[in-house]
Amino acid sequence: MFTSTGSSGLYKAPVSKGLLLVPSALSLLLALLLPHCQRFFVYDLQAVKDDFQIWRLICGRIICLDLKDTFCSSLLIYNFRIFERRYGSRKFASFLLGSWVLSAVGDFILVEAVRYSFGITAARNLPSGFLAPVFALFVPFYCSIPRVQVAHILGPLSITNKTLIYILGLQLFTSGSYIWIVAISGLISGLCYNSKMLQVHEVLCVPSWMAKFCSWTLEPIFSSSEPTSEARIGMGATVDIQRQQRMELLDRQLMLSQFAQVRRQRQQQGGMINWNRLFPPLRQRRNVNYQDGRQSEQQASPPLEVSEEQVARLMEMGFSRGDALEALRASNNDLNVATNFLLQH
């Protein structure tokens, strides 16, 4: 299950948070306080080729020297954080690393192709920054995020849930003279990595030991706390899916409030809750009547087999094993209903 894309911010997205904070802070620092140091972060492929300044392939492709590019790329990374939640931080970081490396090769090929075809030297004029992986993320965004029409304009034109992201990408695409080279190489690298062409996803990936090391050292710094102002709900890829999930959550909360009301009434009357009447599909138990105001032995059917994985997930939230087992049996192994039941009772 995934959290909401709207108000939960950068929860469960430490890689995205790091990409937002560190390069943006360094970009502002270079632009405002250290402008004389910007020459070390210029993305100059001619210097890489002629003077073997290999370090420019790293420094020139991490920090944006143009604040407009910094702003647009930061907004796109924030919107693309959904992929880190969906795939996990390691797989998301592997995609960024793979597209970053492949796009460097693509930049060389495209620059040489433009020079031989049109006589234009673009090697010294490429924009700096972490731009190619941002354009590469448009590939899974196009392929895996469903398109839902939000408003209809004229004829075939309509506004969808993805329109603003594409407009923001177009703004970044047109922000410089030769940024289209970086954009095309980023899209090609994203297509190659997303389609698992030539098994590049197995070669260009974050090793497990490095992922564990970063999880131990960097994740506590860039992790975000879980939002407490809203309940845990699933994350849909579109606003309409999220709205439907919220409606389902409200239905569950209404059901649980009805349960609480019935329980209070039964306690006042000295009676017992009739689970079969309140949750007929959820709990299969048989209750016997009270005799002389005292509760008799409850005859129950054999206990429902409970998934240990779901028990472990509930215990990670802080519930005891006994409460987790009881809630899962009562909800017929429905983790969402069991979680809401334990949270409210």
- The closest of 258, 254, 293, 249 to 277, measured between CA atoms, is 258
pLDDT attached to residue 156: 73
Taking each helix axis as running N to C, give the angle between helix 239-269 and helix 335-344, from 0 to 180 degrees, rounded to the nearest 10.
Answer: 50
Distances in Å between the alpha carbon of 288 and those of 7, 133, 299?
Answer: 47, 64, 7
Which residues, in sequence order, are bridge partners of residue 151? 159
> Mean pLDDT per 10-residue run, the chain (345 residues)?
49 91 94 92 90 91 93 94 89 94 94 90 88 96 83 76 92 92 95 88 90 90 72 50 62 60 58 45 42 44 69 74 80 76 66
In the 8-state DSSP scheme, what is residue 213? Answer: H
CA distance 95 to 88: 11
CA distance 345 to 153: 49
pLDDT attached to residue 228: 59
pLDDT attached to residue 286: 40
- Within 13 Å of residue 6, how many CA atoms lie on the same side as its CB? 14
- For the chain, give the longest Cα–Cα distance: 100
Find out whether 151 and 158 touch, Cβ atoms under 8 Å. Answer: yes
Any idea of the CA torsion for 311, 315, 321, 323, to the nearest 10 degrees?
-90
Phi, then psi, of 160 in degrees rounded to 5: -115, 180
pLDDT attached to residue 230: 47
Distance from chain centroid for Cα 292? 57
pLDDT attached to residue 289: 43
pLDDT attached to residue 74: 94
What six digits make up the tokens of 266? 């039964």
Neighbours of 233 (CB within 10 A): 19
